[in-house]
Amino acid sequence: MTGHPLIPMIHAIESANKPVVAAIEGSALGGGLELALGCHYRIAHSKARLGLPEVSLGLLPAAGGSQRLPRLIGVPAALNLITTGRHVTAAEALQLGIVDQVTDHNTVDAAVKFALSVAGRSLDPRRISTHPCPQQPDLDALFEEVMQKVRQSARGAIAPIACVQAVRAAATLPYAQGMERERELMATLFTSGQARALQYCFFAERAVGRWRMPSGARWDTSKSRPVHKAAVIGLGTMGRGITVALAQTGLSVIAVETQEKQLMEAKQAISGMLERGAKRRGVAPALDGVIYSQNIQAVADVDLVIEAVFEDIALKTKVFQQLSAVCKPGTLLCTNTSALDVDQLASETPNPELVVGMHFFAPAHVMKLLEVVYGPRSSPQAVATAMQLGKKMGKASVAVGNCRGFVGNRMLKPYIEEAFFLLEEGATPELVDQALEEFGFPMGVFRMSDLSGLDVGWRVRKGDGLVEPGTASGRFARIRQGRRYSPLGDLLCEEGRFGQKTGRGWYQYDKPGSRVARSDPWLHSFLGAYRAQHGLVARRIDHQEVLERCLYALINEGFHILDDGIAAGPEDIDVIYVSGYGWPRHRGGPMFYANMVGLAKVLERLEHYQQLHPEVPHLQPSSLLRRLVASGSPPIHKWGEAIKKLHSQL
């Protein structure tokens, strides 16, 4: 790979004999800022934003940015900007010394005036590449510490590490050699799959905004309704987070909670969250934007309601019927649910076309993901409005069809089940989690389960009639409703081991609520006794098997979802997994990963495991996966076309 095409131009500017002043308006990100760093002075408009975001696309600033920025602002500040890719305001850029002046007026005029004021001064001190980085005590210790931190947070991503190495070259080598290092590091990143994955994520996040429904309704032909005033019903954990997310967009929100005590607590919690959020963003908290009430009649004039009462279809149905009577005609009725049937709820409501699901993730004002769930009767306008609102709240909003678990949780189910099966066959929670965390998940299945609470899944399995008292043994005990079932989670719950909150789960904790998971000998002997009781012989399980069984089972479900039309395309699934389920961004999402591994390989491994475990339906390869492989495994951006063609042949 040859050097970055901007480099000769930047050198020409830097070595010019006349002062060159960069006038920065709008965004100077990446190459734009690198060009400005070649200039002798920089003037920015107060609304401008600057940064070197290459790392977020799996790259590094390779037009001399990694060499000039540390020379200009010092190693620690440059490391921070280059390894995180964060954007800074003009004010912060001035403070850091990236720009020489900030103006509220015409930037070019200000730059011309500035140039005249410095005419005749020596340019030598202004040619950044000709100077060493500012002195830094204990350079080695600093780099060691930063490298350790970056390695930890990168979770396997290579670009942040290359960024540190490039800045290190700036701090320790002459400019020309530093540039050579920058070029080499960039060449490695450029050809890595990670850069492709991260660039795919960047475009996928934009693609999901261009939603389409099986009915033919689409983002560009469906007009959203303006939402000025919204309501939230039920102020548990979810309702509180949703209220905060709405109020932070500047909407006025009516927050309704029937229990007085709960209302008081919610009020305090919401005000606290709004205040902390405002402080972080340097704005005034929108406390007046929220009006609290115990009476559902208070929502009569809102444009949109988000219901977040208990996950109980009868209660939700009742609330929706009340809302239909109270609200003005046309008010959009959204339900925050992770498990209930949005369609059934809609069908019990006088105007089903106004009903959509909004599946938020806890805490709702922090988590990026929002699944907007439409049923066959949801109007395109309702979907457009919910998607628009999601965007306003800063969410990665993805429109999906209605089915059990929607997209995210539906795919999670086989993933978790495989992890349970692996324990039965000889793995430990430690082994499974380590394999998944090395892959790049922030937490493996079992640490995650301890964090969110084992009782959540237990309740769902009880509701599905799967849970039986723990005394049964033998093979039959592990087949329920015709398929392999692992009662391990149920048995732990019967012991009162609900995870972090009880101080015991798949791991042990110093005290209830503590976050540091430690290996638990009790659990290991429990697993041994369980295997003995069920006549299971533990075998050695390696990381590869953990990854293949958990991830390919999840991916396989993703193909079912595409085949069913629940997700419009692989990008929708991938954005859901990257923004809501901790799938490592540098691996692009599950469907991108399958594409990268090769569909034929995924199919072959699923077939292999299915033969070994015929009683596990989710290991049976999806017919779409088979058909895609049969049609020559088209690349991911051609799947949409291929699916259409395959469906038309049915």
Shortest CB 338 distance to ligand ADP, Å: 9
Q: How many CA atoms lie within 13 A of 376 on its CB side?
A: 2
Binding to ligand ADP by residue 310, rule CB under 6 A? yes
Closer by beta carbon to ligand ADP, 456 or else 477:
456
Binding to ligand ADP by residue 258, rule CB under 6 A? yes
Binding to ligand ADP by residue 236, rule CB under 6 A? yes
- Can 311 be counted among the known catalytic residues? no
Look at residue 398 and give its three-state secondary structure: strand
Chosen residue from 46, 80, 84, 262 binding ligand ADP by CB under 6 A:
262
Site string for ligand ADP, 502-541 (x = CB under 6 A): ----------------------------------------
- DSSP letter at 130? G
Binding to ligand ADP by residue 259, rule CB under 6 A? yes
Shortest CB 416 distance to ligand ADP, Å: 20
- Is residue 644 within 8 A of residue 627, CB to CB? The reply is no
Shortest CB 307 distance to ligand ADP, Å: 8
**Per-residue 3-state assignment (H helix, E strand, C coil) for 518-538:** ECCHHHHHHHHHHHHHCCCCC
Rounded CA-CA distance 596/449 in Å is: 29
Shortest CB 254 distance to ligand ADP, Å: 11
Q: Which residues contact residue 359 at a Cβ distance below 8 angstroms, ignoring those fewer than 6 apart?
A: 336, 337, 338, 370, 371, 372, 373, 406, 408
Shortest CB 241 distance to ligand ADP, Å: 8
Chosen residue from 309, 384, 448, 561 binding ligand ADP by CB under 6 A:
309
Nearest Cα neighbor of 591 from 620, 643, 556, 634 is 556
Strand-pair category, 483-484 with 479-480 = antiparallel
Residue where the block lists tokens 């692009």: 588
- Listing DSSP states for 42-76 in one string gives EEEETT-EEE-GGGGGT---TTTHHHHHHHHH-HH
Stretch that binds ligand ADP, among 154-162, 184-192, 258-266, 403-411 (CB under 6 A): 258-266
Stretch that binds ligand ADP, among 120-128, 230-238, 439-447, 554-562 (CB under 6 A): 230-238
Residue where the block lists tokens 């015991």: 504
Chosen residue from 117, 237, 268, 473 binding ligand ADP by CB under 6 A:
237
Look at residue 218 and give its three-state secondary structure: strand
Chosen residue from 319, 342, 423, 517 binding ligand ADP by CB under 6 A:
319
Closer by beta carbon to ligand ADP, 257 or else 572:
257
- Touching ligand ADP, residues 152-211 (CB under 6 A): none
Closer by beta carbon to ligand ADP, 93 or else 266:
266
- Is residue 22 within 8 A of residue 36, CB to CB? The reply is yes
Closer by beta carbon to ligand ADP, 37 or else 319:
319
Closer by beta carbon to ligand ADP, 153 or else 259:
259
Rounded CA-CA distance 485/458 in Å is: 13
Q: Which residue is nearest to ligand ADP (CB)?
A: 236
Stretch that binds ligand ADP, among 32-40, 185-193, 309-317, 395-403 (CB under 6 A): 309-317
Total binding residues toward ligand ADP, as defined by CB under 6 A: 17
Stretch that binds ligand ADP, among 82-90, 159-167, 256-264, 459-467 (CB under 6 A): 256-264
Binding to ligand ADP by residue 238, rule CB under 6 A? yes
**Per-residue 3-state assignment (H helix, E strand, C coil) for 552-603:** HHHHHHHHHHHHHCCCCCHHHHHHHHHHHCCCCHHHCCHHHHHHHHCHHHHH
Using CA atoms in the order 44, 49, 53, 54, what is the torsion angle rounded to 10 degrees? -40
Whether the bond between 125 and the residue before it is cis, its omega within 30 degrees of 0, is: no
Which residue is catalytic, options 14, 54, 371, 548?
A: 54
Residue 487 phi, psi dihedral angles, 5° rounding: -80, 10
Q: Which is it for the CA torsion 586, 164, 129, 98, positive or negative?
A: positive
Which residue is catalytic, options 34, 307, 417, 557?
A: 34
Closer by beta carbon to ligand ADP, 204 or else 232:
232
Chosen residue from 308, 369, 399, 573 binding ligand ADP by CB under 6 A:
308
Binding to ligand ADP by residue 357, rule CB under 6 A? no
Binding to ligand ADP by residue 256, rule CB under 6 A? yes
- Can 54 be counted among the known catalytic residues? yes
Shortest CB 295 distance to ligand ADP, Å: 9
Name the site residues for ligand ADP (rule: CB under 6 A).
233-239, 256-259, 262, 308-310, 315, 319
List residues with catalytic annotation.
Answer: 34, 54
